[in-house]
Structure 1
Amino acid sequence: MDNRYKAARLISTLSLFYAGVILLGLLTGLLIELLLVASIALLVWHYLNLNRLRHYLWQSRRFAPPEGSGSWRPVFDGIYKLQMRNQQRRSQLGELVRRFREGAEALPDAVMLIGQHHVILWSNTQAHELLGLRWPEDRGQRIDNLVRSPEFGHFIRARNDKEPLILTSPIDTQRQLEMRLMPYGDHQRLLVIRDITLLVRLENMRRDFVANVSHELRTPLTVVKGYLEMLSDPSQMDPAMWQQVHRMLVSQTDRMDSLVSQLTELSSLESARQSKGSQRIDVSQLLAIVEQEVDAVYRDKQLQVTFDVTPGIDMFGEPRQMRSAFSNLIFNAVKYTPAGRHIEVVWKKVAAGALFSVKDDGDGIEPEHLLRLTERFYRVDKARSRDTGGSGLGLSIVKHALGNHQSELKIRSTVGKGSCFSFEIPAHLLDSRRISEQANES
């Protein structure tokens, strides 16, 4: 501590003041009068300094206190020192609060600070997006008045810090939210909200996948098991019946083999990396092979299938994956287009690269089905798909194959008019030299 502010120094200063007054009083013979005047003057001086302190504390907006003298100097200097220390602490606290808010804003989850009576003390931007809060208008509002849900009201009042609540977003019914409460400070709680829409969707897809695989395998296995029980005594079966049983067993075995093969292919596509154009693919030759296969398999269906293929537009990629994409789209159109209708297959050069499309004038697809067509095992008409031998995996295979070639399947359909499935191969995956040679020849 500064020597100027020690109590002994202050007492000695006061003693010297009164010693001088007493000495002067003895010399003049007015000791009592001078002591009275000196004491009154000292009181007035202290009152003036006290008034300066009151004015600084309650009225002045200055940061630094006024200059002091005598015994009041350590008082004003001490206040200034405390002010500086508090300013430093406020700066440190402000920096901590700023860093906390920046960290909370960087979180992918919504975070809200809930005080007593469930009022909102603070929230980050994610909370505004997930719950539709308006900030700072909703500050101090009760959270259960803004999120109108009986489940949420019970959750916020129950003070259950262990079990989360799964709730549909109040502003978007397509979003699923997971909410957790945890203690935070005195009489406060932290509400953490996470968007689990994707997790819920994946869990539903996993559940549907298991159910669909089980169902798809159970049907042919039941048929095979039934016929095997009939074969327990082959002598009791006439040749005609045996031929029918044999055809059915082969058909159901082929169905299971096709399903397993498609699942294996889909799994390999999902785990495959994006194609870097490792092999050149002669698309016109590949489509010519698919055209022959269509003609051989569906000749009796009396469809008008036309292939408008521009020769010389070759691409780089994985031949097996692209063959699967081309053939699945074409065979899907042939399977589900009624007899006597028309299907047009196009492969041509466009500004962005090359366009492949399969267009039919069939029955069309309702709009609510379009976004889910590429999901595993999803069928618009399940009975019709099974009659045509479809497993619901074809478009999912196409989606992943195109994704590995930096492309995307586009679907347009109008009920009663038909559908169009198309995709574009980017220009950098095309064989530009072959295209230039073809253009020069033409």
Structure 2
Amino acid sequence: MLSNWYIELQRVTLLVLATTLIGYLFGYPVVGLILGLIAYVVWTIRQMSRLESWLQHQELDKLPLSEGLWGRLFDSIYRQERDHQTAKRKLQTIINRIQQSTSALQDAVIMVESDGTLEWWNRSTEALLGFRTPVDGGQHITNLIRDPDFVEYFELGDYTTPLTLNSPINQSVALEMTITPFGNDERLITARDITHIEHLERMRKDFVANVSHELKTPLTVLIGYLETLIDYSDESDNRWLRIYHQMQSQAVRMQDLVHDLLILTRLETTEINVKEQPVNLKQLLEHLAAEARSFSNGRHEIQISAIDIEIDGCYDELSSAFSNLIFNAVKYTPEGGRVDITGYRDKTSIRVDVIDNGPGIDQKHIPHLTERFYRVDASRKSDTGGTGLGLAITKHILMRHNGHLLIESKLGYGSKFSCEFPLSVLSSGLPDPSN
């Protein structure tokens, strides 16, 4: 099959020969040749004009009629345009269904351009965040959601943890916002109404706090009477004395549990001014190490190394957080083991490490250690005297001081619990210890 350009070349050649022959018959062959070429150029320009007009008006059903190369060109463009329109309709149908489905969601869905301007949002966004269609189109997201926490969260770029804030149009509505980057630095923002969940969480905390508070008095009375019974019991009657001691042990454990629950509830429901008092890190760790040595009673080697700096925070809370880690290391490390306590700073943070050479913890348990009442296995059972709330309390205390807990452990190789704080907790006016 001959190619299109070759066929068109034949057509031009025949036209030129024909006009030249006609010119020759009249005695002007050159004039005939020129007129033939001019006729072909005019015809070509006409075809180009028809093509330009057709493409400009986009009237797919009014395909210009032509022959040869131009006819095939019109047909090819027509088929491509028809396929394009078909694909466009299918794509638009998919987009419409996606928009309809997202519009039906009760959660707010917002698409944001790379520069932070609004591209699209669903109907729930108008109800939860007060966006107006189409007035707010093209606005920057922080012009409509001006909460400082959201602005910081949006600009920081770390979206691993959802953000909880109140609706800008209804402060009684709590929203959980997540941001997912996609495409060319664009972002998809979702906002979910968690008012009911927040209400249930407050009810849970209030219930735990109230029950724990109500248990304090009867437990105190029970422990007091048990101490009296033990003091006045006949030592020859070992059966009853053993029962009294078991009752006292469990009552004291319940009292410790109530105490820890009250502490945890207070940590979850109150705020702290971390600049309330400067805490000398070295003195605090040395004091806790001395208490740990007394608790160990010579069964462990406990070493401490800490720099002499002061950090802003609550002394009692920091003491509770560090002591939980130190006493856990002593309790779960076999006799003859070693516990190292270090307090230091580097270029980016202040850290307190508690390292032991105990039995270690399987990796699968580490993400759950700060959950309430979570116990690893038989080696960390309740008869060690713990309530299962110590690490949860430590985690919340560190969060209230802008810090976090890091856990490293391997079975048979001991454990390392680290409290990491930003340098901003350093007390103001103190010299830089690194100088």
Instruction: Provide the TM-score with structure 2 as the length reference.
Output: 0.50
Bigger-Rg structure (1/2): 1
- TM-score when scaled to structure 1? 0.49
